[in-house]
Amino acid sequence: AQTVTQSQPEMSVQEAETVTLSCTYDTSENNYYLFWYKQPPSRQMILVIRQEAYKQQNATENRFSVNFQKAAKSFSLKISDSQLGDTAMYFCAFMKQGRNTPLVFGKGTRLSVIA
Amino acid sequence: NAGVTQTPKFRILKIGQSMTLQCTQDMNHNYMYWYRQDPGMGLKLIYYSVGAGITDKGEVPNGYNVSRSTTEDFPLRLELAAPSQTSVYFCASISGGPRYEQYFGPGTRLTVT
């Protein structure tokens, strides 16, 4: 079974600064996907960024980028130029490739962006 | 497209009552999932379905039942509600490969007292 670990329950960052959220996972699969989701107080789950395990290049989406280390099973999220609207819970998630593949979530990191 | 819709948004149940949480998607996705999110925790899989007529248990299925008579609908049934089922429930659907795009509903906050 796959597990996802987020070791930072809470973090804070000053507005306009950069912050990195950590995520490690355990799997014996070779083909899989990794995701970071944002959950603001509205509770809506919003996909921030995704990474296919077969891709060596780290994914980027505007101010969000990942550091994917497949051998170390590490998948950290970097948020640059933090904004007040980035305040939310952030969940790391794993999905193996193929049918019958639900997401496995970490417990989340609560990020607060301070003005 | 409405995406994934869930009803109701909020509900309070008394212990022992039953209810059905509705989930509908209009994207013709075969894969649909029910998750629960307890306070301060990530999402845990309750049940999932890979197509009409096919369902299977996830990590925390006890106290719940599902059915999938159509591609669009995937209702979650709570029988004999218990305080331990107080949670936020999310329905999700996933498109097929290679992108496997995920879509979440807005969630249902359920309180059992």
pLDDT of res. B100: 76
Contact A67, A80 (CB under 8 A): no
Q: A1 touching B, CB under 8 A?
A: no
Chain A residues whose CB is inside 8 A of the B43 CB are 45, 91, 103, 105
pLDDT in tens, A20-59: 999 999 999 999 999 999 999 888 999 999 999 999 899 9
Q: What is the pLDDT of residues B45-73, one digit of tens each?
A: 999 999 999 999 999 999 999 999 999 99
Return the sign of the alpha-carbon dihedral for residues A6, A9, A13, A15: positive
- The Cα–Cα gap between B24 and A98 comes to 23
Confidence of residue B101 (pLDDT cuts 50, 70, 90): confident
Report whether pLDDT(B84) > 70: yes
Question: How many angstroms separate the CA atoms of B95 and B103, rounded?
Answer: 8
Residue-wise pLDDT for A65-114, tens only, equals 999 999 999 999 999 999 999 999 999 999 988 766 788 999 999 999 99
Q: Which of B44, B108, B45, B77 is nearest to A100 (CA)?
A: B45
Task: Tell me whether residues B42 and A108 touch, CB distance under 8 A.
Answer: yes
CA angle A71, A74, A78 (to 5 degrees): 135
Residue B7 bridge partners (DSSP): B22
Chain B interface, mutation test: which of A51, A101, A110, most B Cβ atoms within 10 Å? A101
Q: How confident is the model at residue B98 (pLDDT cuts 50, 70, 90)?
A: confident
DSSP B29: -
pLDDT > 70 in chain B, percent = 99
Which of A97, A22, A39 lies closest to B35, judged by CA?
Answer: A39
The span from the CA of A29 to the CA of A70, in Å, is: 11
A103 by Cβ neighbours in 10 Å (0-12 / 13-18 / 19+) ranks as buried
Q: How far apart are CA A45 and CA B88, in angstroms?
A: 12
Q: Does A35 touch chain B (CB under 8 A)?
A: yes
Whether residue B76 has pLDDT greater than 70 = yes
CB spacing of A99 vs B31 below 8 angstroms:
yes
**Contact A5/A25 with Cβ under 8 angstroms?**
yes
Q: A89 to chain B: nearest residue by CA?
A: B40
Residue B40 predicted with pLDDT over 90: no
Q: Any idea which residue has 């209810």 for tokens?
A: B19
Taking any CB pair shorter than 8 Å as contact, residues of chain B touching chain A are: 31, 33, 35, 40-45, 48, 50, 56, 58, 88, 90, 92, 94, 97, 100, 102, 104, 106-107, 109
Structure tokens at A70: 């497949």
Please give the C-alpha separations between residue A3 and each of A27, B14, B39, B76, in angstroms, as whole numbers.
Answer: 7, 34, 19, 25
Task: Grade residue B1 by pLDDT with cuts at 50, 70 and 90.
Answer: low
Kindly list the residues from chain B whose CB atom is less than 8 angstroms away from the CB atom of residue A32: none
